[in-house]
Amino acid sequence: MFDSLSGRMTGVFDRLRTRGALSEADVAEAMREVRLAMLDSDVALPVVKDFINRVRERAIGAEVLESISPGQAVAKIVNDALVEALGGAGAVPLNLNAAAPIPILMVGLQGSGKTTTAGKLGLRLGGRERRRVLLASLDTQRPAAQLQLAQLAQRAGVASLPIVAGQTPVQIAQRAMETGRREGYDIVILDTAGRLSIDEALMEEVRQIRAVTNPAETLLVVDAMTGQDAVNTARAFNEAVGVTGIVMTRMDGDARGGAALSMRHITGAPIKLTGSGEKLDALEDFHPERVAGRILGLGDLAGLVEKASDTLDAEESEKLALKMLRGKFDLDDYAAQIKQINKMGSISGILDMLPGMGQMKSQLAGKDLDTSVLKRHTAIISSMTKSERRTPDIIKASRKKRIAAGSGATVQEVNRLLKQFDDMSTMMKRINKLGAKGLMRQGLGALMPKGMMPQGGPGGGRGPGQRPH
Amino acid sequence: MALGFFSRLKEGLSRSTQKLGGNIAAVFTRRRLDDAALEELEELLIAADLGPAVAGRVIDEFRRTRFGNEVTDEEVRVALSAEVARVLEPVAIPFVPDPALKPHVVLVVGVNGTGKTTTIGKMALQYGRAGVRTILVAGDTFRAAAVEQLQIWGERVGAPVIAGAPNADAAGLAYQAFERARAEGADLLLIDTAGRLHNKGALMEELAKIIRVLRKFDETAPHSVLLVLDATTGQNAIEQVRVFKEMVNISGLIVTKLDGSARGGIVVALAEAFGLPVHAVGVGEKAEDLRPFRAADFARGLVGDSVRLTASQPSADPET
């Protein structure tokens, strides 16, 4: 569903870009699409309306209509406004300017990821920043919640407040702060029970906790998959306890994360951190400009380029690219390429960042896209002779058998690899035909031959993509 | 349990109701149903997480039949409620363990934090009370203290909990539990699993493996695969359901946290997109707060209180 939208968005901006002059109707049409894109990404309706109004005002201003390519200007306005709405460029750090022990209060709905985030925060502050951290769970509601935080603290290598049965959350909070003072902790992270924003009794409780601890940061933890309700949650928590920062969790899912926009808009508090995995180190600073692209389905080219330049060997890449362009790309080059891709992390992560890849991504959804497939491919290729790698066409039945046996794979897997390589070569040829300009215009999605997609259904059920680690 | 069901569900849904209901009243008290009005109504539906497609269809229906008429909020509520109920009616199918299976094996799956363990606890209590011999399996061997969480539920409801070592293989554990449940003649085996995002292929494959291993013991197992879905989830729920359905062939949905301010309109979009049975809804933290899902009640709850007062609206719930 998102892909068609993403395609639509790209289409709208493309149409605008190619126009010389821009009428108000053109802008209105573009705004309609932006509005839909945002709603489909779960940006809350009031936030969408406000956003659209602001963009429209700017878009029909003189500077746009007089600019040389008005379409480009509108696209830029949308993007800039989105980044701005998400908090402007650059990450906002946690505020730790308070006397030790510095209390950090975690609040949010049930199941939003507060306890896991508290553990991650413990690891970050205790490990990377070398602070003395005490984790305390005030969750007396959910069974074993306190134990969960204690176990996470142990994993993170920080202390946790001993569990005393029968204490109320407010009492635990007081005990945590006392312990923090007495034992010289720098930071006390207070994890609270999940609560519904409409539960008056529990909201009053968190108000009291706030009153007795006076936290330097009150972090609202929000699931990136949250729908329109994000507005209500944000408003209720902000009114009750005064949110100072937001943590978006499950950013590693495929939700577009429109809730991020709603949160920022309603609370005025910056998004400070994002959670993107179950491991304790999967806590990252928030980059508005990247989420902006994700919300509109426009990809995160900046992030990709950055990631690529961080990890890729430029010389090697250039050599490969040259070979591709000359149509002299062989299996050795493919193995080299795999090595490079491996350095960049998961393929789906990379696809996320590419514009126009929505279609492909959806066809890959649910399939194992992690790099274990590539490891298999590397193994298979390393079981080939030099001449086989240079001219894969000579690989027939008996060679396949030998290669399969040598790499611990099946003949089917060898077949699949060869097929994929063949498809890739076809793709290279298309790139050559389209040229760089055509590529930019049509997006990478246009290049993908059908064969590149993993086959769904029972036949492909045991494909290399289905293998567990 | 039948008595007062409606009012309890209602209570749970009342916030969402007031919000959506109030908005409709504001828009439609004696007003001509023109383009502007239709657009506003469409937005209200979208804001309830119904999804653009469903919202659009309802609006098209209104445009076709009522465009230009003077309508009241009451008429809008009734029509909307009927439309929502029509979509939901076919999927309102309660979960009934088959007593002949001994045990009826249920795999409970979902993304992180939707309420799988809590739902299992609630189910164990309800079926335990009804005399169904239930065994719980702490298949979330990954998350810290997930096993203990289920064990506490087991103690509360008096159901045995089968657990393994931390990070043990969930599939092996499920197999052992199945063997034991069969040997002990249990009626219902509820298998908890670790939360997993649907876009993580390796984790989804792990789920498929649990099913493969269960089938080694009995080819018909698991007899049900229930996806627990958080009502606050937005449009991503569609992708969630699609992938889980494809990977582990889910047989039904349970929608949790409907007592919050979330309106759960996504259920309507899901019903339309997949037609999967919605077995139950969670409307509170108490064990009794897991309720069978009933289309008419849900639709009326979603649309607004005053619909109940309309004489022309027959009660679709025979038990109330």
The enclosing domain of A26 has a CATH number of 1.20.120.140
Supply the pLDDT for residue A35: 84
Angle formed by the axes of helices A411-442 and A314-325, nearest 10°: 90
Closest CA to B187 of B124, B134, B121, B130: B134
Is A97 among the domain residues? no
Of A10-19, A349-358, B2-11, B20-29, give the range with the top mean pLDDT. Answer: A10-19
For residue A70, give the H/E element and its range. Answer: helix A70-85
pLDDT higher at A459 or B57: B57
pLDDT in tens, A129-140: 899 999 999 999
Any known ligand binding at A122? no
Give dist(CA A2, CA A255) in Å, integer: 9
A44 contacts B232? CB cut-off 8 A: no
- A225/B111 touch (CB, cutoff 8 Å), yes or no: yes
- Return the closest-CA partner of residue A223 out of B109, B110, B254, B283: B110
Distance between A332 CA and the closest CA of chain B, angstroms = 28
What is the three-class DSSP state of A221?
A: strand
Listed in sequence order, the residues at least 6 apart from A83 whose beta carbon sits closer than 8 Å to its beta carbon are A89, A288, A289, A292
Q: How far is B262 from chain A (nearest CA, A)?
A: 5
CATH of the domain at A122: 3.40.50.300
Residue A205 has pLDDT above 80, yes or no: yes
B235/A227 CB distance under 8 A: yes
Residue A259 to chain B, least CA–CA distance (Å): 9
How many alpha carbons lie under 13 Å from residue A374 in its C-beta half-sphere? 18
Reported as a single tens digit per residue, the pLDDT across A411-447 is 988 988 888 888 777 776 666 665 555 444 444 444 4
Is B257 part of any known ligand binding site?
Answer: yes
**Range in A103-107, A287-291, A447-451, B207-211 with the lowest mean pLDDT:** A447-451
Residue ranges of the alpha helices (H) in A358-396? 358-364, 372-382, 386-390
pLDDT of amino acid B313: 33
Mark whether A9 and A143 lie in a shared domain.
no
| Higher-confidence position of B81 and A104 | A104
Vertex B49: Cα angle to B285 and A249 (nearest 5)? 65
Q: Which of A183-192, A354-363, B180-189 has the lowest mean pLDDT?
A: A354-363
ipTM greater than cut 0.85? no
Evaluate whether residue A255 is within a structural domain.
yes
Given this model, what pLDDT does residue A344 score?
A: 57
Which neighbouring-strand residues pair with A105? A190, A218
Residue A324 belongs to domain spanning: 314-457
Nearest neighbour of A1 by CB, restricted to B49, B199, B238: B238
Contact between A196 and B234 using a beta-carbon 8 Å cutoff: no
The number of CA neighbours under 13 Å toward the Cβ of B266 is 28
Domain for residue A329, yes or no? yes
Q: Is A452 annotated to bind ligand?
A: no
Using DSSP's 3-state secondary structure scheme, residue A245 falls into: strand
Determine the Cα–Cα distance for residues B141 and B170; give it in Å rounded to an integer. Answer: 7
Flag whether B112 is marked binding.
yes
Residue to mutate among A147, A151, A191, A228, with most B CBs inside 10 A, is A228
Helix%, strand%, coil% for chain A, nearest 5: 60, 10, 30
Buried b (16+ CB within 10 A) or exposed e, A103-122: bbbbbbbbbbbbbbbbbbbb
Share of chain A above pLDDT 90, in %: 34
Q: Are A294 and A320 members of one domain?
A: no
Both A144 and A266 in a single domain?
yes
Which of A272, A298, A324 is a domain's end point?
A298
* Contact call for B205 and A111, based on CB within 8 A: no
Mean pLDDT within B45-58: 82
* Inside any domain, residue A275: yes
Same domain? A285 vs A261? yes
Considering only residues A76 and A303, tell me which one the structure prediction assigns the higher pLDDT: A76
Taking the CA of residue A424 and the nearest CA in chain B, the distance in Å comes to 23
pLDDT digits (tens, 9 = 90+) for A143-192: 999 999 999 999 999 999 999 999 999 999 999 999 999 999 999 999 99
* Pair (A216, A361) in one structural domain: no
Mean pLDDT of A210-214: 95
**Is A96 inside a domain boundary?**
no
- How much is the average pLDDT of B47-64? 82
Q: Is B99 on the interface with A (CB under 8 A)?
A: no
In angstroms, the CA A269 to CA A233 distance is 14
Average pLDDT, integer, range B98-102: 93
pLDDT band at A295 (very low <50, low <70, confident <90, very high): confident
Residue B205 one-letter amino acid: E
Query: Does residue B36 surpass a pLDDT of 80?
Result: yes
Q: Of B15, B113, B202, which is closest to A368 when you measure between CB atoms?
A: B202
The SS3 assignment for A187 reads strand
Whether A144 sits inside 8 A of B152 (CB atoms) is yes
Residue A90 lies in a domain: no
Please give the pLDDT value at position A6.
52
Average pLDDT over residues A355-365: 48
Answer yes or no: do A135 and A266 share one domain.
yes
Same domain, A47 and A119: no
pLDDT in tens, B246-289: 999 999 999 999 888 777 889 999 999 999 999 999 998 888 89
Ordered DSSP codes for chain B: --TTHHHHHHHHHHHHHHHHHHHHHHHHTTEE--HHHHHHHHHHHHHTT--HHHHHHHHHHHHHHHTTSEE-HHHHHHHHHHHHHHHHGGGB------TTTSSEEEEEE-STTS-HHHHHHHHHHHHHHTT--EEEE----SSTTHHHHHHHHHHHHT--EE--STT--HHHHHHHHHHHHHHHT-SEEEEE-----TT-HHHHHHHHHHHHHHHHH-TT--SEEEEEEETTB-THHHHHHHHHHHHH---EEEEE-TTSS---THHHHHHHHH---EEEEE-SSSGGGEEE--HHHHHHHHH-GGGGG-TTS----TT-
**Under an 8 A CB cutoff, do A229 and B232 touch?**
yes
Chosen domain end from A31, A51, A85: A85
Alpha-carbon gap, residue A256 to A5, rounded angstroms: 12
DSSP state of A444: G
Which residues from chain B sit within 8 angstroms of residue A469, using beta carbons? 202
pTM comes to: 0.74
Residue of A232, A366, A465 lying closest to B247 (CB–CB) = A366
Q: Are residues A7 and A48 in the same domain?
A: yes
Residue of B nearest to A235 (CA): B261
A465 is a domain residue: no
- pLDDT for A11: 67
What pLDDT, on a 0 to 100 scale, did the predictor assign at position B181?
Answer: 96
A46 and A136 assigned to the same domain: no
Return residues 273-292 of B near A (CB < 8 Å). Answer: 285
For chain A, the average pLDDT equals 78
Considering CB atoms only, which of A151, A233, A259 is closest to B261? A233
- Classify burial at A312, counting beta carbons within 10 Å of its beta carbon; exposed 0-12, middle 13-18, buried 19 or more: middle
Identity of the residue numbered B198:
H
Q: Do A225 and B260 touch (CB under 8 A)?
A: no
State whether A203 and A134 are in the same domain: yes
Nearest to A366 among B112, B204, B285 (CB): B204
> What CATH number corresponds to the domain at position A359?
1.10.260.30
How much is the pLDDT for B175? 96
Q: Which chain A residue lies closest to B51 (C-alpha atoms)?
A: A40
**Which residue of B115, B156, B197 is in closest CB contact with A253?**
B197
CB contacts under 8 A, B 141-200 vs A, are: 142-146, 148-149, 151-153, 156, 197-200
- Structural domain tally of chain A? 3
The reply to whether residue A468 touches residue B202, judged by beta carbons under 8 angstroms, is: yes
Chain A residues whose beta carbon lies within 8 Å of the beta carbon of residue B240: 225
Q: How confident is the model at residue A18 (pLDDT cuts 50, 70, 90)?
A: low
Q: Closest chain A residue to B113 measured between Cα atoms?
A: A111
| Same domain, yes or no: A107 and A81 | no
Distance CA A80, CA B199 (A): 29
Task: Answer for the pair A287, A273: CB distance below 8 angstroms, yes or no.
Answer: no
Between B68 and B95, the higher pLDDT residue:
B95
Taking CB atoms and an 8 Å cutoff, what residues of chain B touch A155?
144
Whether residue B300 has pLDDT greater than 60 = yes
B144 vs A contacts (CB less than 8 Å): 119, 147-149, 151-152, 155
CA gap B259, A196 in Å, rounded: 8
Q: Is the pLDDT of residue A293 over 80?
A: no
Residues A127, A158: one domain? yes
Query: Is residue A466 situated within a structural domain?
Result: no
Q: Tell me if B232 and A226 make a contact (CB, 8 A cut-off).
A: yes
Distance from CA of B200 to the nearest CA of A (A): 7
SS3 A102: strand
Nearest-CB residue to B113 (from A112, A456, A466): A112
Across A50-54, A445-449, B227-231, least confident range:
A445-449
Last residue of a domain, one of A55, A85, A115: A85
